[in-house]
A and B are shown apart, each in its own frame.
Chain A
Amino acid sequence: MKRAAAGSPPAIVALDLSVAYEGRPALTGVTFSVPAGTLAGVLGPNGAGKTTLLRALLGVVSHTGSVEVNGSTSYVPQLSAVDRTFPVDALGVVLMGRYPRLGWLRAPRANDRRVAAELLDQMGLSDRARSPFASLSGGQRQRVLVARALAQEGEVMLLDEPLTGIDAASQEVVLRVLADHCADGHTVCMTTHDLAQAARVCDRLLILDGRLVAEGPTREVFRPEIIRAAYRAELLSLDGETALVHHGVHPAP
């Protein structure tokens, strides 16, 4: 287990990053950096530009300003982007993570299959390796997609809403694996709507609302006034559970 050495260059640097879709701004003037070896959470309300930020980091949307990702990337898109009916089993999906390194001529070798099987085991799915992807639960599918990203062996992993719509047990597995991945010196940047989980597991937070509201270590950023500014809602904490209470939305008496 190793963490990135102190003083090493940041894994992600964005300077005055702006993205617009057909003239409509999605992100404006975002500047931040993520140190290597950290788990960064990207928070913000719907339409805040979280997915757009990841797409800019991946280089698949045109932008102004500069973005620098030091090292190869691996990616977990939103679960809803996947064709769940495609005829492939869980092991086959994880093996896809090895395809970019294989090129056209080489088929996956025994080592690739061993790595894929180990990653499925790490995700607690070794008994589902030969199960069709379509037959898995939402949480199991998400774990398979995270295993596919791990199989890419990128230095910086970007995840879009990996905790959305999955069961608590799968969330725990995903978060544990991501924490271990960071402890091994990799950098993880994930978008999420789950404020409580983000506050609990992330080293750093970026809070977006079409622009950068705040960024920095979690303990400095996860503050009521900052959350209020981004979400236009109050942060309510009861018995360890965190919830957002939106202004003007009150239950009927």
Chain B
Amino acid sequence: MPPPFDAPYIERALLAGVLLAVPFGLLGTWVVLRGLAFFAHGVGVATFPGVVVGLGLPALGPIAGSLAAAAGFTAAVSLFERDHRLRGGAVTGLVLAIALALGGLLLTSVFRVAAPVESALFGSLLAISGADVVRCAAVALVALVTLVLTGRSLAAATFDREWAGPAGLRPGRGDVLLLGLLALAVVTALPAVGSLLVSGLLVVPAATARLVTDRLAPMQALAVALCALETVLGLALARTLDIPPGSAVAALAGLGFGLVAAVAGLIRRARHASRIGAGA
């Protein structure tokens, strides 16, 4: 590989980043369209007690611990959000607070492990292993196949849930599948980007793509491409400037969104002005 990607650990990071762009771009589209950004953030942070238990019980390990915590968080949010009085992220905030409190208690009073807090929060793309890359590839494949097969039902249910149920498209089953995949993708990405930055990669490229297109398939393709591009550029920037890669990728994603939002705003304003001019 040419510089700045001329080292095995950079190659692994590059491969993992591009592989993760597939589930992140595809899932991110549904996160943005269904207003699940807070859940996506929450499920990453709520893995904290699972990481602590996994570190305290080596037979379990932090990955299995994170997965269990993410599954528990997803199940709790899904269950309690059935109460229509608790909409708008209240349940996510509540379960997130409980998860963080539980993690803190487990860390200080039960396992007393030396939790690598910084790496848990921000991850390290440059430190991921070959096994991490294999997990990224597996999750990319699972997400791609599942979302291609269920994409039509998810679209119909997101557009008009009142209709999708009676039409036999089982929107509840799609919800469970989507939240489960989201939890799986987030946990897989934790070693690479950490629990605080993971939602940035899920939300920002898809939100940027939404500003560019009014069609679902192009939005998904663009979200995947942006996520991959921002990861590659972020890694190059991190290697060149010797800065944390997760932060570089997230900052680039934010910058990309800002640029696209500004250009889209200018185009909208120009079109509006030309319509007024044509009408005069």
Binds A, one of B43-51, B113-121, B152-160, B197-205: B152-160
Q: What residues of A have a CB within 8 angstroms of the CB of B158 in the complex?
A: 83, 86
B274 at the interface (CB under 8 A from A): no
Most buried by A among B150, B152, B153: B152
Q: What residues of B have a CB within 8 angstroms of the CB of A97 in the complex?
A: 167
Q: What residues of A have a CB within 8 angstroms of the CB of B152 in the complex?
A: 96, 99, 102
CA of A168 to CA of B216 in the docked complex: distance in angstroms? 32
User: What band does the interface of chain B fall in when counting residues whose beta carbon is under 8 Å from A?
Assistant: 20 to 34
Chain A 46-88 per-residue mask, 1 if CB under 8 angstroms from chain B, else 0: 0000000000001110000000000001111110011100111
B163 near A75: Cβ-Cβ < 8 Å: yes
B82 at the interface (CB under 8 A from A): no
A191 at the interface (CB under 8 A from B): no
Q: What residues of A have a CB within 8 angstroms of the CB of B219 in the complex?
A: 87
Name the distance in Å between A90's Cβ and chain B's nearest Cβ.
12
A104 near B167: Cβ-Cβ < 8 Å: no
Which listed residue, A74, A88, A100, touches B216 by the CB 8 Å rule? A88
Which listed residue, A81, A89, A135, A152, touches B160 by the CB 8 Å rule? A81
B106 at the interface (CB under 8 A from A): no
Name the distance in Å between B260's Cβ and chain A's nearest Cβ.
15
A73 near B155: Cβ-Cβ < 8 Å: no
A87 near B165: Cβ-Cβ < 8 Å: no
Q: What residues of B have a CB within 8 angstroms of the CB of A75 in the complex?
A: 163, 166-167
CA of A74 to CA of B216 in the docked complex: distance in angstroms? 25
Which listed residue, A81, A86, A89, touches B163 by the CB 8 Å rule? A81
A105 at the interface (CB under 8 A from B): yes
Binds A, one of B19-27, B207-215, B262-270: B207-215
Q: What residues of A have a CB within 8 angstroms of the CB of B239 in the complex?
A: none
B160 near A100: Cβ-Cβ < 8 Å: no
Chain B 44-84 per-residue mask, 1 if CB under 8 angstroms from chain A, else 0: 00000000000000000000000000000000000000000
B135 at the interface (CB under 8 A from A): no
B155 near A96: Cβ-Cβ < 8 Å: yes
CA of A89 to CA of B215 in the docked complex: distance in angstroms? 7
Q: What residues of B have a CB within 8 angstroms of the CB of A88 in the complex?
A: 155, 159, 215-216
Q: List 28 A-B contacts (CB under 8 A).
A: A60-B165, A76-B163, A77-B160, A77-B163, A86-B155, A86-B159, A86-B216, A87-B33, A87-B214, A87-B216, A87-B219, A88-B159, A89-B214, A93-B159, A96-B160, A97-B167, A99-B152, A99-B167, A100-B167, A100-B168, A102-B152, A104-B149, A104-B150, A105-B149, A132-B214, A132-B215, A145-B160, A152-B167
In the complex, besides A60-B166, A75-B163, A135-B214, 20 extra interface pairs with C-beta distance below 8 angstroms are: A59-B166, A75-B167, A77-B162, A77-B163, A81-B161, A82-B159, A86-B159, A87-B210, A87-B219, A88-B159, A88-B215, A92-B216, A96-B155, A96-B160, A97-B167, A100-B169, A104-B149, A104-B150, A104-B153, A134-B214
- Which residues of A are interface residues toward B (Cβ below 8 A)? 58-60, 73-78, 81-83, 86-89, 92-93, 96-97, 99-100, 102, 104-105, 132-135, 145, 148, 152
Query: Nearest 8 pairs between A and B by C-beta?
Result: A77-B162, A81-B162, A132-B214, A58-B166, A86-B159, A96-B156, A100-B168, A104-B149
